[in-house]
Amino acid sequence: MNLEHVLKEKFGFDKFRPGQKEVIESLMSGCHTLAMLPTGSGKSLCYQLPAYLLNKTTLIVSPLLSLMQDQADQLKMRGEKSVLTLNSFLTLNQKREAFDRLHMYRFIFLSPEMLSLEGVIKSLKTLEIGLFVIDEAHCISQWGYDFRPDYLNLGEVRRELNNPLTLALTATATKEVRKDIIGKLNINQAKETVSSVDRDNIAILVERLFSYEEKLFRVLELVRKFTGSGIIYFSSKKVAEAVTGFLQENGVDSVNFYHGGMDQEQRMLIQQQFISGQLKIICATSAFGMGVNKSDVRYVIHFHMPSTMESYLQEIGRAGRDRKQSVAVLLYSEGDEGLPLHLMEQQLPSDLQIEGVCSFLSKAKKIGANLTLSEKEQLSQSFSLNDIQLRFFTQFLTGNQDPLQHVEEMKAYCQKRKSRNQEKLLRFLKWIYAQECRRLGILNYFDEKQQKLNPFCCDFCGMDANKMIDLLPAVKVEQVNSYTTWKQELAFILLKKENWDEK
């Protein structure tokens, strides 16, 4: 089998990127595979190419609708018509039509929530599944930086689908997390392909500042100096919007904000403007990045510190996907760790919320998994639950036992998770304060050895933002077209997409 021939014929590439061929060869030999490949290394090719060789249905599980849609759109733009995205935005008629034609699709993208529906599993059982793909597989592990309770069912889903050949994909996972992924999916004989987390074309800089205002003016200074496109990450939606306004008021063109609180249409428009080069800078929360297929991002700035080393690497990995020199700048001032600590507390319910919810469900003789939409809304309002906390209860309380019997178990679980999250934050904070090579510290975190010295390494090794200016390649940025409203411009983008689909 000549994989290079298939690569050229189906995807137009002459050679594989590091790690891709090893993953594909493993799958084609019938081995379950866990692949840890850096952000921007072409992980999607690792399942797309085998899908053509296996000539059976490929299921791809993904945590984000935007990521699923982007990958599906890229396949369609290459001429692949047998692509289906199953999500909550489909109308009843669209869902009915999709399930009637399910056997006709080569690629089926869906969320883990969809796989919790009995009807969906029943329909998928009628298919001959050649490959079961879990994207962002670190979400499975309770020790991963972005744990999603909905992912916990995937091992059982595999069993119900007759244990198909499985590929677990992630960009950042420690040995402990990889072991947990394999165990949760019950793919104990899986072959692992683990690439280095070192992105050698990204210089890593940490700057210590003393106030919010000092950060503001430093961001302004950096975006005026750096060439090309950039992403500025925030942990607060309000601050992302405020800094966008500050930059605009100070003459920075082509900048906008992006976060999960915006309408889907607005997010889609801003994402497309950034990809096309109409927007130069995005002030974003972590909701922005996955599925953004832009290779020439030259810099990533962190206005707020991430909560873990894994999420930091995930975010800076959106720079320099074209392998050209790029830079990551983390702006830190004492006390910044307070915000991620607060956000961590919001991810899991408190002891009082656990007691209250379980008491409520016990009296109503309900379990979390069988709540109606209106009951979920009532529960959220009565106990001030956010979406993540509500999903915790619906996933944890699935059996027939009285919810009150799970109270102490749930408290212990949440305490263990919170303690582990705090440990990860402390390790990242120590990395910020450490008087040693930044890159070496990252490699040590992932139990890697440094292979070679990097001349453009980090601030500890002599690099700074001023030196980076001359190293960054110039990128032409187009001006935003003068459409009168964002809705009109979105309609223009969608019209172009429809024309592409017709071709």
Residue with the larger pLDDT of the pair 89 and 255: 255
Burial of 388 (0-12, 13-18, 19+ CB in 10 A): middle
Taking the C-alpha atoms of residue 347 and residue 449, their distance in angstroms, rounded to an integer, is 33
Is residue 187 within 8 A of residue 154, CB to CB? The reply is no
Contacts of 130 (CB under 8 A, 6+ apart): 50, 51, 54, 55, 56, 57, 58, 164, 165
Is residue 173 within 8 A of residue 36, CB to CB? The reply is yes
Do 3-194 and 202-336+432-498 show the same overall fold? yes
**Domain assignments of the chain as residue spans, ordered by start:** 3-194, 202-336+432-498, 341-423
Give the per-residue pLDDT at 86: 87
Edge-first strand order for the sheet with 326-333 is 202-209, 326-333, 297-302, 229-233, 281-284, 255-258
Residue with the larger pLDDT of the pair 291 and 295: 295
* Main-chain phi, psi angles of 469, to 5 degrees: -55, -45
Q: Is 3-194 CATH 3.40.50.300?
A: yes
Encode 244-307 in three state secondary structure.
HHHHHHCCCCCEEEECCCCCHHHHHHHHHHHHHCCCCEEEECCCCCCCCCCCCEEEEEECCCCC
Taking the C-alpha atoms of residue 73 and residue 337, their distance in angstroms, rounded to an integer, is 38
Taking the C-alpha atoms of residue 375 and residue 346, their distance in angstroms, rounded to an integer, is 21
Q: How is residue 156 written in tokens?
A: 């059982």
Q: How is residue 56 written in tokens?
A: 């059976």
**One-letter amino acid for residue 7 of the chain:** L
Confidence of residue 267 (pLDDT cuts 50, 70, 90): confident
Contacts of 276 (CB under 8 A, 6+ apart): 478
Taking the C-alpha atoms of residue 279 and residue 30, their distance in angstroms, rounded to an integer, is 44
Lowest average pLDDT, out of 35-44, 229-238, 313-322, 354-363, goes to 35-44
Is residue 400 within 8 A of residue 367, CB to CB? The reply is yes
Chain mean position to CA 192: 21
Residue with the larger pLDDT of the pair 36 and 498: 36
Give the domain 202-336+432-498 fold. Rossmann fold (3.40.50)
For the cut 60, the answer to whether the pLDDT of residue 491 exceeds it is no
For the chain, the average pLDDT equals 87
For the cut 70, the answer to whether the pLDDT of residue 252 exceeds it is yes
Mean pLDDT of 46-54: 94
For the cut 60, the answer to whether the pLDDT of residue 484 exceeds it is no
Give the per-residue pLDDT at 499: 44
Give the per-residue pLDDT at 482: 38
Looking only at the bridges linking them, the beta strands covering 57-61 and 129-134 are parallel
% of the chain surpassing 70 pLDDT: 91
Residues 209-243 have pLDDT tens digits of: 999 999 999 999 999 999 899 999 999 999 999 99
Give the per-residue pLDDT at 216: 96
